[in-house]
Structure 1
């Protein structure tokens, strides 16, 4: 994945990097909603590219922010029914793979990872997703947790 100037991005590329992921996230919501009851949780995984502005990667950043907004909206709509949502923001190397995520990390971060590595999908991130999916985490809804090894440390 290489950076592309906003004015040089073809419409088809914008659709692929921004609109398609948003449409897929909405399709998941629509498909899951009839099966969700009190105590249910819905969690998304997005890249951290939008957290600091992603020059050259606006489509991916817009999709990530759109999915975060979708999670917040669903949390507001379904919270009174006991249904929660959450978002896990991960390093671009994890979200897109090391080859595609490398250029994103190089252009979207201002600091090195505090842990000197991104979160490992199995050993670090899967347990966090398990927590987010657990009904015991009901008080955490509509929120985004950042698990990128300590690059983005925001409240």
Structure 2
């Protein structure tokens, strides 16, 4: 039986929590942290689990600008590790800078490029390569983006724009890839799962009407695990909101 392989593209606590959960669930992990390559791979491996180890795809953000560059880097890493495909691909990459409130009227062109357009480009690159590595194993793709994608946020417009655009791209992929047996689903946690405590009391805070306790990156990882489980094989194109009941969107 071939080894189960998961690729996680992410650079924050959410990405690390997702990677740890996949290793614990028995996957061999290919970890891509394009912001600080290799910075947490050791910690993930030390966490243990039933998986067969952690391989680092030492790519920078530049490699996500072009599908051919990402395809080459990923292909080389998979071959060197003896993998012929990927069972699960989870994309969690979000810029920490995007959680800093900025009035819409004051956004510069450079800020918009960096915080809205570049993240869309990076996510699109991964989606453009995802099908070919998932198809041989009828794999699962999970996109993790903040729940501001669903409702917007007054001073987090670049983040909301990038997140909702990526969600739309993922839903389009779900329709196209269904006939190949690939599922594509979305997890949308609240901003506090990303550690954005400075946003308490702003218009993205629904703390008065949610389940007790703060949401964590581990909660996001648990939701991701539900979507890649065998029992979720008929679930695709779905957005799972992990915010304790704050939004309650359909």
2:178 aligns with one of 72, 79, 85: 79
Q: TM-score, normalised by structure 1?
A: 0.86
Whole-Å separation in 2 of the counterparts to 1:118 and 1:137: 26
Kindly state the Cα deviation for residue 52 of structure 1 after the two structures are TM-superposed: 2.4
Paired residue for 1:137? 232
Kindly state the Cα deviation for residue 113 of structure 1 after the two structures are TM-superposed: 4.5
RMSD over aligned Cα atoms: 2.0
Greater helix proportion: 1
Q: Which protein has the larger Cα radius of gyration, Structure 1 or Structure 2?
A: 2
1:116 aligns with one of 212, 216, 232: 212
Q: 1:150 to 1:11 in 2, by over 3 A?
A: same
Matches for 1:37-48 after TM superposition, within 5 Å: 37=135, 39-48=138-147
Kindly state the Cα deviation for residue 148 of structure 1 after the two structures are TM-superposed: 1.1
Structure 2: segments with no counterpart, 5+ residues: 1-98
Q: 1:113 to 1:39 in 2, by over 3 A?
A: farther
Farther-moved stretch of structure 1 (106-115 vs 140-149): 106-115
Q: TM-score, normalised by structure 2?
A: 0.55
Whole-Å separation in 2 of the counterparts to 1:48 and 1:118: 15
Farther-moved stretch of structure 1 (35-44 vs 112-121): 112-121
Confirm whether residue 4 of structure 1 aligns to residue 125 of structure 2. no
Q: Structure 1 segments of 4 or more deviating over 6 A?
A: none
Kindly state the Cα deviation for residue 110 of structure 1 after the two structures are TM-superposed: 4.9
Paired residue for 2:202? 106
How many aligned residue pairs are there? 151
Structure 1: segments with no counterpart, 5+ residues: none
